[in-house]
Chain A
Amino acid sequence: MTDGARVATRSGVLPREAATHCPYCALQCGMVLRDAGDVVEVGARDFPTNRGGLCQKGWTAAELLDHPERLTTPLLRDRPGGELRPASWDEALDRVAAGLHTVRDRYGPDAVAVFGGGGLTNEKAYALGRFARVTLRTRHIDYNGRWCMSSAAAAGNRAFGVDRGLPFPLADLGRADTLLLVGANPAETMPPLMRHVADQRERGGRLIVIDPRATATARQADLHLQPLPGTDLAVANALLHIALTEGLVDRAYVAARTTGFDEVRRTVAGCWPAEAERLSGVPVADLEAAARALADADRAIILTARGAEQHAKGVDTVSAFINLALALGLPGRPGSGYGCLTGQGNGQGGREHGQKADQLPGYRRIDDPAARAHVAGVWGVDPATLPGPGVPAYQLLDSLGTPSGPRALLVFGSNPVVSAPRATRIESRLRDLDLLVVADLLRSETAELADVVLPVTQWAEEDGTMTNLEGRVLRRRAFRPPPAGVRTDLEILAALAARLTDGAPLPTDPRTVFEELRRASAGGPADYAGITWERIDADEGVFWPCPDEDGPDRPRLFADRFPTPDGRARFHPVTHRPAAEPVCADYPLHFTTGRVLAQYQSGTQTRRVAALRRAAPGGFVELHPDLAARLGVTDGTPVRVVSRRGELRAPARLSPAIRPDTVFAPFHWPGAARANSVTNDALDPVSGMPEFKICAVRVERA
């Protein structure tokens, strides 16, 4: 490489072209931005993750830079129920500071809460965590990544002692003899990743997909297991049961590198395949074929994604697949392993540097005295002044405006009105706040409820770092100055801190913030101490942990040991339990949610891009033709999907790709088509992950 060498990286000097990365998902495809007269042209870079590919979202990303709906001035609401009106920055910031002061004075520091996002750069995520703990002194900070990665993170931590989505480079997928994707649909959610899968197939590798829908990814598989939503755990335990009864367990690996196998062995002894078949609908013969394909392979990789993780038993489900991977001796074996596919652009970095309620930078725990002492030292404060752990995202939002909950909320890079489960309820919680502040580049549905909206820069206008799904730290590079009237998130935090405290001013230069992040993360599980922007530029990114500037980074983890106290990976016995909300006579169908190729997350950005709107103009309800016939519905008929919590209305889309007992809707749209009006807010007891992927509904003609 490198494309990076061609461009200026001195701060303050903007290049004619910038080698950066896509603003959207965790694949962080390498792209180059060029000046093409009136518009910014997007080109694809041959980066190791995307290998010159981009999906339609990436190609069209620059259309939002000068979008007519782009916010270029702060907005204020003078009274509840009034309209948002343009305001000066001083007026807006003063209003925020005054509102925060009032709430803090009346209710204490925990009455102010911060809600971040997995799309924020490492510098912003770090600064946000520091701002909450040091400036606001609130324990209440969490972020939308809680709804994305938290189950895989918790399961990874308890098994491996660390949570890095992929503990190996993405290119390893291409050399796997067997690749198992569980609840992952990269052909739609991160299309260029499929170049690695195509590689794998061309080399004769086998692809197995577990998904309740015959997705674009599942249709490419050699073997597609199509379980009822919410039964992945039973499937995983059955696979391990088969591995046991067929003598496929790697006993030498289990003995040398793990602990806790006997209890898992005894647990899965009671998980016989016929029972899993009955729960999931996956034939025993297919379970056997999958287990053998994983065990027979020299190199086998198991990946989970949101389909397996977004459940009230998401952590245990991931643990079940990790147990399988460990029993087969995969983690740490060259070319093999377990990983999860991180979703949001900085979903990995965003969960490492302190946006999470229980966490300090470097993936440290906020309840660990040594961690508090270290981070407090970097921040120049007394460790005793750092607040303790807060509560996970949904609990936080669900408590807003209630007698015991926060009265003021600052939102950065998130749109919970669309993305939160049981969104109608969360919307009403947001309305109950004394003060809602939203920093965004567009008027998201959450911004529409705000008292103050602060317009921020977007990806092509800012420098910083992102950590992709491989744990590879990347450089986001500014290509052009932001429009007049727009500020960076770091500038906003600094301006607020100046109004709220007498302390030293907060840095607004991302590079300065990164230098501080390096020190704060030093010695933590996600150690960035040895990572510099120059090193990222020179090396196609740097894989953490990287404690020394002169030492190596770690593209592959676990080769010799696991970062647990005894160096061994830990099995964790888990058993299937039913979905939080079973189907019944009134709500006889299973409802599941997901994504479409041309939209991203809550759609705030992608719904405003003309080409993407053409490709995916609105919400829909996917249902099997047999079910449609029983409901008297044809393709395009408006239908209502009704749960105990709410309903969505959208046209029916008939497809034999879905089970007849299950309906699907994408969650990118607000209003009547909002899928999260329907979803269940049951939470995983360990991770706080809501059960987005299954609840009970009925479907009616609208």
Chain B
Amino acid sequence: MTGRVVVVGYGMAGARLAAELHARGGDRRITVLGAEPHRAYNRIMLSTLLAGKIGEPDVELVEALGPRVDVRTGSSVSAVDRTAREVRTADGGRYGYDHLVLATGSRAVVPPLPGLDPLPDRVVPFRTLADCRRILAVARDARRALVLGGGLLGLEAARGLAARGLDVTVVHPHGHLMERQLDPTAGAVLATTLTGLGVRARLGVPATRVTADADGVRLHLADGEPLAADLLVLCCGVRPDTALARAAGLAVDRGVVVDDRMRTSDPRISAVGDCAQHDGTLTGLVAPAWTQARVVADVLTGDDAAARYRPRPTVTRLKAAGIDLAAMGELAGTGDPDGTGPVEELTFADPARGTYARLRIRDERLTGAILLGDNPAVGTVVQLFDRGAPVPADRRALLLGRAVGAPAEPAASPALMPDAAVVCRCNDVTRGALVAGWRAGARSVAALSAATRAATGCGGCRDAVTGIAAWLAAADPPTTDEVRETDADREAVQVS
């Protein structure tokens, strides 16, 4: 019985689940309880909002609206009573459920540094729309900004702030940026690219403490001189919000433990998105969260009671003006443990142009890749990895970015073209037919067109026909009405 579905959390996962359930109709009642005061928004677009390219309305997500959907924003859930099958909110509300879905998401990690408790005004984590507003409020009068954390989110924040004209430095304790996805070479190329975009990186040095006052903030580093700025943005990772689940006695590891149907240890409770831990893995990404929401909707509504969550391999993608980065799979070890063939490793680096590519292939399948810089094959590489499809026979296509399509056909000179070569595709006219037409007296482009219909379709071969006419005129000047068969024949033999 799933007549009453309560969803705790109105972030990207919770909103999507509400929309999925709503779209399937039926007579179940859906209640969504969101702690944040505003409607659901697209977290992925927050860095674009930070950059000032869009306004707040542009990050809104589709809302499930209807008589059977009750969305309550600003409604913080304080407890789940599994015996009474009831959820309680901080403001005293009680919501009975037949099925409960936890979509509580995750919270930004505030590193345990002296000076961050309580958070000074000029220090803001980057996670929510409220965070974004605070960052923008401080950034308005700021000149210099620091970003602590050189992972994907930190770099997106840094890019957004740099796009606003701020002088940005990323401070990262590891030896290279995005160390979970990149190798040191790629990290170095990326750092160079970022420098060109107004983002500096201080690498391999831990922060030790933060001092702040009304005029500015200082981030003290283990190697001495503190960095001063008007704003410090914390991008030090996130932690699943499992407090509610833990208090309710559900099985919780790093996240709320779920099975393939996204069920927690209580079959009346599911969990999706950042807070859920499936097969030992936390996702932290939107695409899997939305897939999980679909699985829950399928199972709850009976649309596909056999639906199961099958995680797709993760592809990390950073694409902004001047940056194009894709990273996926394993770049260490032997790749697929079930593989039998040797591991092929291909690399191409052109640091001066910000280009780096590294591919690992085993048994004709891509097991990992980093592509950095403008590489037209990035879409192909992502798909090959995603689908486990066999790689091209010529691997250079992936490394150097030659597209999968046909290479441009070189324009053949008339002399080198075989007689059977089709010059006019619209009318299926070969070079041989044009030569024959010429020899039968069609001694101009117009006459050749009239005689053979070449260039009378799309007109795209007009230049080619003109070239052939010119070549024939040179090889066989129309000084006489006689058709000089021997010359033309010899020419044809020579060139075909």
Contacts and interface: CB of A to CB of B under 8 A. Distances in A.
A576 to B, nearest CB: 12
A56 B382 contact: no
A281 B380 contact: yes
Contact of B376 (A286, A630, A656, A657): A286
A245 B159 CA distance: 14
B428 A278 contact: no
A592 B458 CA distance: 25
A626 B457 contact: no
A615 B426 CA distance: 10
Contact of B405 (A226, A247, A278, A611): A226
A55 B62 CA distance: 49
Contacts of B115: none
Given A247-B53, A655-B406, A573 B62 contact: yes
Interface in A536-577: 573
Interface stretch (B42-50, B214-222, B241-249, B485-493): B42-50
Nearest to A199: B459
B59 interface: yes
B460 interface: yes
B130 interface: no
Nearest to B427: A56
B426 A267 contact: no
B427 A246 contact: no
B453 A59 contact: yes
A642 to B, nearest CB: 19
From A195, A278, A573, A630, name the one whose CB has the most chain B CB atoms within 10 angstroms. A278
Contacts of A298: none
A228 B383 contact: yes
Interface in B403-431: 403-409, 425-428
A267 B53 contact: no
Contact of B53 (A193, A246, A269): A246
B413 to A, nearest CB: 20
Contacts of B345: none
A285 interface: yes
A481 interface: no
A224 interface: yes
Contact of B379 (A53, A197, A224, A282): A282
A240 to B, nearest CB: 12
A272 B53 contact: no
B382 A281 contact: yes
A270 B62 contact: yes
A615 B44 CA distance: 52
Interface string A173-208: 000000000000001100111110110000000000
B405 A269 contact: no
B132 to A, nearest CB: 15
B58 A191 contact: no
B60 A269 contact: yes
A348 to B, nearest CB: 22
B37 interface: no
Interface in A257-276: 262-263, 265-267, 269-270, 272-275
A275 B287 contact: yes
A634 interface: no
A157 B379 CA distance: 34
A659 interface: yes
Interface in B87-121: none
A59 B53 contact: no
B405 A54 contact: no
Contacts of A214: 405-406
A48 interface: no
B390 interface: yes
A497 interface: no
Given A247-B54, A659-B404, A191 B319 contact: no
Interface in B370-385: 374-380, 382-383
B317 interface: yes
Given A214-B405, A284-B378, A597-B425, A265 B456 contact: no
Contacts of B474: none
Contacts of A598: 428
B386 interface: yes
Interface string A605-633: 00000010011000000001110011000
Contacts of B290: 270
From B315, B374, B379, name the one whose CB has the most chain A CB atoms within 10 angstroms. B379
A281 B409 CA distance: 23
A182 to B, nearest CB: 17
Interface in B440-492: 453, 456-460
B405 A218 contact: yes
B392 A615 contact: no
From A193, A228, A262, A661, name the one whose CB has the most chain B CB atoms within 10 angstroms. A661
A280 interface: yes
B336 interface: no
A283 B379 contact: yes
Contacts of A286: 376, 379
B63 interface: yes
Nearest to A573: B62
B403 A226 contact: yes
Contacts of A280: 379
A191 B390 CA distance: 36
Given A269-B42, A281-B382, A611-B428, A195 B287 contact: no
Contact of B62 (A219, A267, A281, A615): A267
B319 A657 contact: no
A220 interface: yes
Contacts of B59: 269
A216 interface: yes
Given A44-B456, A191-B457, A244-B58, A278 B378 contact: no
Contacts of A191: 425-426, 457-458
A53 B404 contact: no
B324 interface: yes
A59 B319 CA distance: 50
A265 B60 contact: yes
A519 B315 CA distance: 61
Interface in A266-309: 266-267, 269-270, 272-275, 277-278, 280-286
Nearest to B23: A575
Interface in B59-81: 59-63
A660 interface: yes
Given A244-B58, A283-B379, A53 B319 contact: no
A273 B99 CA distance: 34
A281 B390 contact: no
Contacts of A44: 456
Contacts of B453: 54, 56, 59
B389 interface: yes
A626 B392 contact: yes
Interface string A32-73: 000000000000100000001111100100000000000000
Contacts of B383: 228, 278, 281, 661
Interface of B: 16, 42, 44-45, 48, 53-54, 57-63, 287, 290, 315, 317, 319, 324, 374-380, 382-383, 386-387, 389-390, 392-393, 403-409, 425-428, 453, 456-460
Interface of A: 44, 52-56, 59, 187-188, 191-195, 197-198, 214, 216, 218-220, 224, 226, 228, 244-247, 262-263, 265-267, 269-270, 272-275, 277-278, 280-286, 573, 597-598, 611, 614-615, 624-626, 629-630, 655-657, 659-661
Given A573-B62, A614-B428, A657-B405, 8 more contacts: A53-B457, A54-B457, A59-B453, A246-B53, A270-B16, A284-B319, A598-B428, A615-B428
A-B pairs, top 8 by smallest CB distance, nearest first, are A194-B458, A191-B457, A214-B405, A615-B428, A274-B317, A191-B426, A191-B458, A283-B379
28 contacts: A44-B456, A53-B456, A53-B459, A54-B453, A54-B456, A55-B426, A56-B428, A56-B457, A187-B458, A188-B425, A191-B458, A192-B457, A194-B460, A198-B458, A198-B460, A218-B405, A219-B409, A226-B404, A265-B60, A266-B60, A269-B59, A274-B317, A281-B379, A282-B379, A283-B378, A283-B379, A284-B319, A626-B390
